[in-house]
C-alpha cells in the first residue's frame, strides 16, 4: 500500500512511495481523459462533494456540542467547486452527491447545484444527489427539482420528538418532517438514512422502517463509524446491524435483493411492508471491495477513503497549477487509494481519523 502526504507548494511531498521502495510515476503521466481506475481495478465513478462543514443540527455521533467550524475563508469558492467537479466528470465520474455538514445552509449553494445540473445533458454526468437533514427543504425542494436533482437522502434517526431533540441537541423533528413533506410534494425520490444507535433508537427502528415504507420511502440503516472526537464513546453508541437484522427477522421476512444504487448499501425487501431496506455495515461486514467513490471536502482535500487519513490537496493544485495539476493529482489518487478502511469501535479504541463526518462530508 502506498504511503502519501499532501500536495503542497506546487510539488508532491512524499507521494507515491510504495512498500517495496519503488516510486509511482503517476504524477508524470501525460494528462488526458482517462478513466479513474485505482490499482485494485476499481472504477471511481462517484464523487461525494462537501460544500460546508456547518450544520443547523448538532447530532451526537457527528460532532461535538460546540464544534469548531472552519473559517469561511478556507472554503472552496462555488466556482472552484464547479471547476473541480468538471475535472472529475472529465475523468469518468457519473454521479455527484452534494453533502456537508448540511449543504443547504451554505449561502448561494443552489448556484453550484444549478451549474452541475447543466452538465447532466452535456457531459457524462448522469446524476446529482443530495444528503440533507431536510430542515431547509421547504425553501429549496422545488429549486432542487428544477436544477435536475431527482433523489435525496434524508438523515432521520427517530420519530420521537424528545429523542430527536436529544440526538440533535435541540433540533425540532417538526422541521425535518416538514422538509420531507416538501420534498415529497416536489417529486423528489426520498431515502431515509438512519444511524443505528445502541439504547437511543435500537428499540424503535422497526417503527421507523414501517413509517418510511408506508410513505413510499426506502430506508437505509448505517452502523456508526469512528470518525472524529465526539462527546461520547463509540463503543457505547455502536449497534451491530447483524443484531438488528436478526431482531427484525423475528417478525418480518427480509428477502435479499441485487439492487445497487451506486453506494455501499446492501438491500432487502421487507415482505410485510413491501418496502426496501438497505444495510451499510462498515464494522460487521466490510463493503470496501466494491468501493467506487472518493470524497472532496469543502476545503478541497481529496480523501480516497472515509476511514483513512491520507489526502491530496486539490485546492492547492487548482490555485497553483490549474486543471493540469488537478488532473495529475487525480492520477496520484488512484495509485494511492487504499484497499479498505480500518474502523474499530471496541472499548478504548481511538477514532479511526481525527476529522468528523461533518468535516469530511457525509
Show me where the domains of the chain are located: 26-360
Q: pLDDT tens for residues 339-350? A: 765 654 444 445
150-167: pLDDT as tens digits: 999 999 999 999 999 999
Residues 231, 202: Cα–Cα separation, whole Å? 20
- Residue 339's closest CA among 297, 310, 298? 310
User: Residue ranges for the binding site for GTP?
Assistant: 48, 97, 131, 191, 293-295
d(CA 166, CA 155) in angstroms, rounded, equals 15
Apex CA 80: angle with CA 37 and CA 356, to 5°? 70
> Where is the binding site for [4Fe-4S] cluster, in residues?
55, 59, 62, 288, 291, 305
* pLDDT number for residue 89: 97
CATH 3.20.20.70 is right for the domain spanning 26-360:
yes
Partners of 129 in beta bridges:
97, 151
Measured on CA atoms in the order 349, 352, 358, 361, is the torsion positive or negative? negative
Q: Name the pLDDT band for 351 (thresholds 50, 70, 90).
A: very low
Whether residue 221 is predicted with pLDDT greater than 60 in this model: the reply is: yes
Sorting pLDDT into bands at 50, 70 and 90, what band is 359?
low
pTM comes to: 0.84
Q: Tally Cβ neighbours within 10 Å of residue 255.
A: 11
Q: Which residue ranges are tagged as binding site for S-adenosyl-L-methionine?
A: 61, 101, 155, 225
Residue ranges of the binding site: 48, 55, 59, 61-62, 97, 101, 131, 155, 191, 225, 288, 291, 293-295, 305
CA–CA dist 117, 147 (Å, integer): 5
Average pLDDT, integer, range 302-326: 91
pLDDT at position 23: 29
- Is pLDDT above 90 for 228? no
- pLDDT of 12 reads 37
**CB atoms closer than 10 angstroms to residue 136:** 18
Give the rounded distance of the alpha carbon of 248 from its chain centre: 26
Q: How confident is the model at residue 285 (pLDDT cuts 50, 70, 90)?
A: low
At 312, is the secondary structure helix, strand, or coil? strand
Q: Which of 291, 303, 317 is nearest to 362 (CA)?
A: 303
- Predicted local distance difference test score (pLDDT) of residue 2: 35
Question: What's the confidence (pLDDT) of residue 28?
Answer: 34
The torsion angles phi and psi of 197, rounded to 5 degrees, stand at: -125, 120
> Helix, strand, coil shares of the chain as percentages rounded to 5?
30, 20, 50
Residues facing 127 on adjacent strands: 95
Tell me the percentage of the chain whose pLDDT exceeds 90.
64
Phi, psi of 357 (to 5 degrees): -60, -35
Amino acid at each position: 500500500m502506498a504511503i502519501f502526504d499532501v500536495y503542497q507548494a506546487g510539488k508532491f511531498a512524499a507521494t507515491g512511495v510504495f512498500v517495496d521502495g519503488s516510486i509511482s510515476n503517476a504524477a508524470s503521466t501525460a494528462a488526458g481523459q482517462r478513466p479513474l481506475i485505482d490499482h485494485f481495478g476499481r472504477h471511481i465513478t462517484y464523487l461525494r462533494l462537501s460544500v460546508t462543514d456547518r450544520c443547523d443540527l448538532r447530532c451526537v455521533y457527528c460532532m461535538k456540542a460546540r464544534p469548531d467550524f472552519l473559517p469561511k475563508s478556507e472554503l472552496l469558492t462555488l466556482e472552484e467547486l464547479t471547476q473541480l467537479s468538471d475535472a472529475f466528470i472529465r475523468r469518468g465520474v457519473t454521479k455527484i452527491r452534494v453533502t456537508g455538514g448540511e449543504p443547504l445552509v451554505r449561502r448561494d449553494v443552489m448556484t453550484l447545484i444549478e451549474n452541475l445540473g447543466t452538465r447532466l445533458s452535456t457531459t457524462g454526468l448522469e446524476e446529482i444527489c443530495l444528503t440533507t437533514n431536510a430542515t431547509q427543504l421547504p425553501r429549496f425542494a422545488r429549486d432542487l427539482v428544477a436544477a435536475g436533482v431527482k433523489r435525496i437522502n434524508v438523515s432521520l434517526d427517530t420519530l420521537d420528538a424528545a429523542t430527536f431533540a436529544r440526538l440533535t441537541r435541540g433540533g425540532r423533528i417538526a422541521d425535518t418532517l416538514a422538509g420531507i413533506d416538501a420534498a415529497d410534494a416536489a417529486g423528489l425520490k426520498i431515502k431515509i438514512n438512519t444511524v443505528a444507535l445502541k439504547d437511543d433508537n435500537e428499540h424503535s427502528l422497526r417503527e421507523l422502517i414501517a413509517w418510511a415504507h408506508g410513505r413510499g420511502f426506502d430506508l437505509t440503516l448505517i452502523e456508526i463509524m469512528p470518525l472524529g472526537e465526539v462527546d461520547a464513546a463509540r463503543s457505547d453508541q455502536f449497534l451491530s446491524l447483524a443484531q438488528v437484522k436478526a431482531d427484525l427477522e423475528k417478525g418480518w421476512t427480509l428477502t435479499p435483493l441485487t439492487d445497487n444504487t451506486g453506494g455501499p448499501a446492501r438491500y432487502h425487501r421487507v415482505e410485510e411492508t413491501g418496502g426496501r431496506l438497505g444495510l451499510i455495515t462498515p464494522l460487521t461486514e466490510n463493503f470496501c471491495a466494491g468501493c467506487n467513490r472518493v470524497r472532496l471536502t469543502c476545503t478541497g482535500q481529496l480523501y480516497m477513503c472515509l476511514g483513512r487519513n491520507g489526502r491530496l490537496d486539490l485546492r492547492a493544485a487548482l490555485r497553483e497549477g490549474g486543471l493540469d495539476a488537478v488532473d495529475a493529482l487525480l492520477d496520484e489518487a488512484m495509485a494511492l487509494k487504499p484497499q479498505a478502511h480500518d474502523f474499530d469501535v471496541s472499548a478504548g479504541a481511538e477514532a479511526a481519523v481525527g476529522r468528523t463526518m461533518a468535516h469530511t462530508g457525509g
